Amino acid sequence: MQTTPDTLALIGNTPLVRLRGPSEATGCDIFGKCEFTNPGASVKDRAALFIVEDAEQRGLLQPGGTIVEGTAGNTGIGLALVANAKGYKTIIVMPETQSREKMDTLRALGAELVLVPAAAFSSPCHFVHTSRRIAEETPGAIWANQFDNIANRRAHIVGTAEEIWDQMEGRIDGFTCAAGTGGTIAGVGLGLKAKDEAVCIALSDPHGAALYNYYAHGELKSEGSSVAEGIGQGRITANLEGAPIDTQFRISDHDGYAWVRRLLDEEGLCLGLSSGINVAGAVALAKHLGPGKRIATILCDTGFRYLSTLYDAEWRQAKGLS
């Protein structure tokens, strides 16, 4: 094994693991991209690094400057560790409904944490709008704007998609994941389609998100709700514009949690609920494509981030998830 030049070089180049249970259940080979092995333990380290380096290259971020972002948590963790490695400060705005572990991690990383009540996107109190206002009012600050800053999806075009293509030796029939900002699905989709137009790109949308109806019927409309953190989008973000979605599935928390449970109990993988929803989506895609196909999905973050929620029986019972 070679040495790595610095901590930021630890971002990306994650392993791709064959998931035994989902593969056996479908007669396909289903692979999970282990994004929990990034230094911030989630897929969002990639977007954080690209957003910061893009701002540096544009001359927007000066030494000692501040990075402000609204986030469900993982992007904040990624930004805070990139900021520490490069000598910037971070102010992170987060809905107070997110897991305690994410808040504790952000505080441990030295980020200034601003908690806001959960609010609709149309409300000025929404975490995205609050973060933009703070960035505007803070001298020397940039707003990372992960939803509409396409440096986010570029991280997945040049990073995640290339890696998946190489790791699968160009033999891949389908890819699926859920969308938060949409950076992952759009970036990996565009990157894989550039290699082979025939790769089927499927959106796995949680309940409560509006994208399933948009891609299926051309209408942004949501039904139901989900307790999965980091996913569930109600609009076409700049990152989602032109995303090459061939098909879409609506995945329940119940189905996502069933795979979270099985992957932990049978394969020793401790994951968050969005990963379970992605794996349930990969199983749906395998059924859609038929046996013998090779499918990849994203294992977005570590389950250790949800010990007080997803892995707590009382919490699950309160949320009707068991």
Interface residues with ligand PMP (CB under 6 A) are 42-44, 72, 74, 178-184, 229-231, 272, 274, 300-301
Please give the DSSP secondary-structure letter assigned to residue 33.
E
Catalytic residue among 44, 89, 193, 293: 44
Q: How far is the CB of 228 from ligand PMP (least distance, A)?
A: 7
Collapse the DSSP code of 283 into the 3-class scheme (helix H, G, I; strand E, B; otherwise coil) and give the result.
helix
Nearer to ligand PMP, 65 or 299 (CB): 299
Nearer residue to ligand PMP within complex by CB, 65 or 159 = 159
Q: CA-CA distances (angstroms) from residue 264 to 21, 81, 181, 269? A: 11, 27, 27, 5
Choice between 23 and 74, CB closer to ligand PMP: 74
CB closer to ligand PMP out of 47 and 286: 47
Q: Closer to ligand PMP by CB, 61 or 188: give it.
A: 188
Q: Output the smallest distance, CB 156 to ligand PMP, in A.
A: 7
Residues 95 and 298 sit within 8 Å (Cβ to Cβ):
no
Between the alpha carbon of residue 123 and those of residues 130, 182, 223, 226, 231, the distances in Å are: 10, 21, 20, 20, 19
- Report which residue type is found at 17: V
**CA distance from start to end of the chain:** 42
Which residue's beta carbon is nearest to the bound ligand PMP? 230
Tokens of 321: 């998830």
**Cα(245)–Cα(261) distance, rounded to whole angstroms?**
28
The distance of closest approach from Cβ of residue 233 to ligand PMP in the complex, given in angstroms and rounded to an integer, is 7
Verify whether residue 193 is a known catalytic residue: no
In DSSP terms, 206 is beta-bridged to: 251
> What SS3 class is residue 91?
strand
**To the nearest whole angstrom, how small is the minimum distance from the Cβ of residue 18 to ligand PMP?**
21
> How many angstroms from the chain centroid is the CA of residue 233?
12
CB of 130 to ligand PMP, least distance (A): 17
Which amino acids are annotated catalytic? 44
